[in-house]
Amino acid sequence: MPRTAFFISDGTGITAESLGRSLLAQFENVDLRMLTKPYIDSVEKARTLVEIIEATAVRDGEQPIIIDTIVDEGIRDVIRGATGFKVDIFSTFLKPLEQELGTHSSYSVGRTHSIGKDEVYMDRIHSVHFALDNDDGARTHQYDEADVILVGVSRCGKTPTSLYLALQFGIRAANYPLTEDDLDENGTLKLPKVLATHRHKLFGLTIDPRRLTAIRHERRPNSRYSSLDQCAQEVEQAEALYRQLHIPFIDTTRFSIEEISTRMIAETGLTRRFSPR
């Protein structure tokens, strides 16, 4: 039977889940079932959750792992009474920080993922809208406002990476697909004219052709678009263009969106408008 891990919060649960998953990811040989329990913001809800935790301990034959970011002391006391290995993030880290900083924490629920400063929140929204408006080459007249323009063949990860950069860092990312329409008379991929004046903003994505085939097959099975020969040819042409024009690029095959984005930022020096949430 797998061990069960509970990520508990009186807010969204995003902090508890993010930190909990990061910690537990180091234990690849352990079969873990992870459950997020947000908005445990009353003693009654906490007691109900404790009953669930106790039943889980009996079912699994092992005590659950409990990782929480509960602020309210009364609710935390209820959670502490549950059978489980407990990691209380706030009490573990806030007390030493209070001592170091010489002041008390505000102990406010939901501070990490609240709207907070209006200008930061609106900048986040604007960046997401920018990514959506400038997705897949749909619009090109706003490229002067772009912080980065992702280029690559179809289905190599441009859209999700653009949205992640916008949502997590406030980076205004456009993306443009490299297609057969951009081939010259010799069958060589050339830089589209609309991108020529923005070469300093370009960042390329590439992908293993076999992986690309599998992704495209889900969209258009048994088509030329998803064939291995077509995918291999497109990837080869795109990488040749990157090298010819000295466009930095990254292979997305084995990297998550988070890794792609942070590696891109590290390599290009893109300025984050705010920290990830």
- pLDDT tens-digit readout, 129-172: 999 999 999 889 999 999 999 999 999 999 999 999 998 899 99
| Residue 231 annotated as lining a ligand binding site | no
Whole-prediction pTM value? 0.71
In contact, 156 and 205? CB cutoff 8 Å: yes
Annotated ligand binding at 269? The verdict is no
Handedness of CA 82, 86, 89, 95 (dihedral sign): positive
Same domain, 43 and 154: no
Residue 103 annotated in ligand binding = no
153 is in an annotated binding site: yes
12 annotated as ligand-binding: no
Say whether both 64 and 135 belong to one domain: no
Confidence band of 2 (pLDDT split at 50, 70, 90): confident
Residue 155 annotated as binding site: yes
Tell me whether residue 36 is annotated as binding.
no
Are 148 and 36 part of one and the same domain? no
Is residue 95 a known part of a binding site? Answer: no
Average pLDDT value for residue range 45-58: 97
Residue 43 in any domain: the answer is: yes
Parent domain of 122: 117-268
